[in-house]
């Protein structure tokens, strides 16, 4: 199946969407790894001060018992979380389990004032009551397929669709 | 007959027990060090706890006393949200004559998920790993003269933290190498991680001659052994060795092999000094060195907790 998702075009929409979601003093936190690339780029394009945060779901995943520890990736939040407005950024929103884990991880650092979510693609299939405040595209994919964001050396983003093993 | 598999790894090559550094491939060691890096920051969070081992029961079985090692394992397990049970085995059932495997069978009946084992007999953790249920994991917290793999790994984490690249380092291990499970684990790890120049320094009675076969240079002269080293690992001189004929006296030992600022000056100017603790000031190390700018003895302690969290979470997540 030919994939019709142009990640670069969707990024332009995400930029507009995130600008609208951002409250004063809000910070961007990208979900490792695809979301972190997006947050880094959004941070620069929006001219935000400091550095964006990177957050990993690895330590709060609910599939640890069956899949073990996910590849090492450390959360880095170079700002106070307590009382902050946070915009989480991810590439693909699917079951919502990663977002649940990431929100738990966020709370290990403090109590944010609010948490919003912006994603490049919402592919449906939610298993938890979690929704994005902004999604640049909404599509429906069968559970047998996995949608992955890739970043080329020059920074160019693209999507690839694979059959799950 | 099927090829004998390393009992620490499952069929996919994933870590299920940590019994010894020996025999673990470089990728597994590197994975443990990378994972420890993730956990290092957990201890600095507002909430110093992650839920990976929530609902799991970790039993600390210390057949030989070691408050410090037991405490670091306990902290690591608690930061992973495990329930930790400390058994003072040396004073309980074993003293009443129960066999090691009967003790394990009993604790397994209490639904243990992990055993952290310290034992004076080499091979005890290995024996437990062979006889426990498939879902139970074993970590060796030091067995006889054999191995102390988490100490070896935390030493490697420390070296990598300060020196980055293993493949261009000179590492000197000084002291009672023949009785030291730490030295053994360190040397195996250094070899596996590709350190080109490993030196073992100490008196003839305390340095085994067969180290050369592992690519280790044996030096009985401290000056020669420490020259241009990037890393100096000092071992604790175990007081109990003093009573035998192995050493003349503590002060004699300090004169020849104790690390003083003068001797350290022969190493590279940016060399780091490590020690597994507890240190004997004035026996194997001078206070000026132990408290000096090149000492990383206290950072080692923090790295030790992160490394133990990494090991416990990795093995708990893999099945036999």
Residue of A nearest to B16 (CA): A68
Residue B317 sits at the chain A interface (C-beta within 8 Å): yes
Fold classification of A7-63+72-163 (topology level): Rossmann fold (3.40.50)
Q: Do B35 and A68 touch (CB under 8 A)?
A: no
| Cα distance between residue B112 and residue A144, in whole Å | 37
In this structure, of A161-165, B169-173, B215-219, B287-291, the range with the lowest mean pLDDT score is A161-165
Chain B window 21-40: which residues touch A at a Cβ cutoff of 8 Å? Answer: 31, 34-35, 37-38, 40
Which candidate from A59, A67, A69 shows the least CB-CB separation from B314? Answer: A69
> Residue B1's pLDDT band (boundaries 50, 70, 90)?
very low
Q: Is the ipTM of this complex over 0.90?
A: no
The per-residue pLDDT for range B225-284, each reduced to its tens digit, is 999 999 999 999 877 666 666 677 888 899 999 999 999 999 999 999 999 999 999 999
Closest CB to A109: pick one of B35, B45, B314: B45
DSSP chain B: -PPPPPTTB-TTS-BS-B--STT--HHHHHHHHHHHHHHHGGGGSSS----TTTT-EEEEEESS--HHHHHHHHHHHHHTT-EEEEE-GGGTGGGGT--HHHHHHHHHHTT--EEEEEESSTTHHHHHHHHS-TT-EEEEEEETTTB-HHHHHHHHHHHHHHH--GGG-EEEEES--TT-HHHHHHHHHHHHTT-SEEEEES-GGGS-GGGGGGTEEEES-HHHHHTT-SEEEEPP--HHHHHTTS-S-HHHHHHHH-B-HHHHTTS-TT-EEE--S---BTTTB-HHHHTSTTB-HHHHHHHHHHHHHHHHHHHHHS--
Q: What is the SS3 assignment for A22?
A: coil
Measured between CB atoms, does B320 come within 8 Å of chain A? no
| Partner residue facing A72 (CB), from B37, B47, B51 | B37
Instruction: Tell me if chain B has a CB within 8 Å of the CB of A57.
Output: no
Task: Take residue A122 and report the two structure tokens written for it.
Answer: 């919402």
pLDDT value at B298 more than 50: yes
Query: Is B132 within 8 Å of B115 (Cβ atoms)?
Result: yes
Name the residue among B41, B51, B318 with its Cβ closest to that of A68: B318
Report pTM: 0.90
Eight-class DSSP state of A76: B
β-bridge partners, A30: A54, A89
Dihedral in degrees, nearest 10, Cα atoms B275, B279, B281, B282: -70
B51 interfacial to chain A (CB closer than 8 Å)? yes
Q: What does the angle CA A32 – CA A38 – CA A43 come to, to the nearest 5 degrees?
A: 115
Most B CBs within 10 Å: which of A57, A60, A62, A64, as the mutation test of the B interface? Answer: A64
Write b or e for each residue in B110-126: b if 16 or more Cβ atoms lie within 10 A of its Cβ, otherwise e.
eebbbbbbbbeeeebbb
| Edge-to-edge strand list for the sheet holding B114-119 | B83-87, B57-62, B114-119, B137-143
Amino acid B92: pLDDT: 65
Q: What is the pLDDT of residues B276-297, one digit of tens each?
A: 999 999 999 999 999 999 999 9
Using a pLDDT cut of 70, give the percent of chain A over it.
Answer: 97
Chain A to chain B Cβ contacts (< 8 Å)? 47
Residues of chain A below pLDDT 50: none
Question: Is the pLDDT at B85 greater than 70, yes or no?
Answer: yes
Average pLDDT over chain B reads 92
- pLDDT tens-digit readout, B3-41: 567 899 999 999 999 999 999 999 999 999 999 998 998
In angstroms, the Cα distances linking B102 to B93, B94, B180, B233, B306 are 10, 10, 29, 39, 32
């Amino acid at each position: 199946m030919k994939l019709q998702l142009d990640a670069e075009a969707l990024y332009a929409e995400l930029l507009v969407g995130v600008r609208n979601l951002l409250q004063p003093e809000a910070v961007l936190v990208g979900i490792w790894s695809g979301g972190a690339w997006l947050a880094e780029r959004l941070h620069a394009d929006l001219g935000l001060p400091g550095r964006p945060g990177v957050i990993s779901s690895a330590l709060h995943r609910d599939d640890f018992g069956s899949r073990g520890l996910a590849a090492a990736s450390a959360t880095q939040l170079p700002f106070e979380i307590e009382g902050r407005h946070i915009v989480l950024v991810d590439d693909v929103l699917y079951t919502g389990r990663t977002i649940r884990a990431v929100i738990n991880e966020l709370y290990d650092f403090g109590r944010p004032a609010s948490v919003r979510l912006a994603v490049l693609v919402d592919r449906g299939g939610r298993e938890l009551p979690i929704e994005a405040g902004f999604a640049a595209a909404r599509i429906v994919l069968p559970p047998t397929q996995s949608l992955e964001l890739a970043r080329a050396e020059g920074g160019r983003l693209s999507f690839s669709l694979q059959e799950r093993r | 007959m099927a090829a004998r598999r390393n009992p620490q790894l499952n069929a996919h090559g994933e870590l299920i027990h940590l019994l010894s550094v020996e025999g673990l491939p470089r990728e597994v060691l590197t994975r443990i060090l990378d994972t420890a890096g993730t956990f290092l920051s957990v201890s600095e969070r507002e909430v110093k706890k992650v839920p990976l081992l929530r609902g799991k029961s970790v039993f600390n079985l210390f057949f030989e006393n070691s408050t410090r090692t037991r405490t670091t394992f306990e902290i690591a397990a608690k930061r992973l949200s495990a329930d930790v049970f400390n058994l003072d085995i040396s004073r309980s059932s074993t003293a009443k004559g129960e066999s090691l495997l009967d003790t394990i069978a009993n604790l397994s009946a209490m639904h243990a998920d992990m055993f952290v084992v310290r034992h004076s007999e080499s091979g005890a953790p290995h024996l437990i790993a062979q006889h426990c249920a498939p879902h139970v994991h074993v970590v060796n917290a030091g067995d006889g003269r054999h191995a102390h793999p988490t100490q070896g790994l935390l030493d490697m984490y420390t070296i990598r933290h300060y020196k980055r690249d293993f493949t261009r380092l000179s590492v000197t291990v000084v002291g009672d190498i023949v009785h030291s499970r730490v030295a053994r684990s360190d040397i195996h790890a250094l070899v596996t991680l590709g350190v080109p120049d490993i030196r073992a320094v100490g008196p003839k009675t305390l340095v085994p001659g067969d180290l050369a076969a592992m690519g280790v240079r044996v030096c009985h002269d401290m000056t020669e052994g420490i020259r241009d080293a990037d890393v100096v690992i000092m071992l604790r001189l175990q007081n109990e060795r003093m009573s035998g004929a192995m050493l003349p006296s503590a002060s004699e030992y300090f004169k020849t092999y104790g690390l003083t600022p003068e001797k350290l000056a022969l190493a590279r100017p940016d060399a780091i000094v490590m020690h597994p603790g507890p240190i004997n000031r004035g026996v194997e190390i001078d206070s000026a060195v132990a408290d000096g700018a090149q000492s990383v003895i206290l950072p080692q302690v923090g790295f030790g907790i992160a490394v133990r969290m990494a090991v416990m979470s990795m093995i708990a997540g893999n099945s036999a």
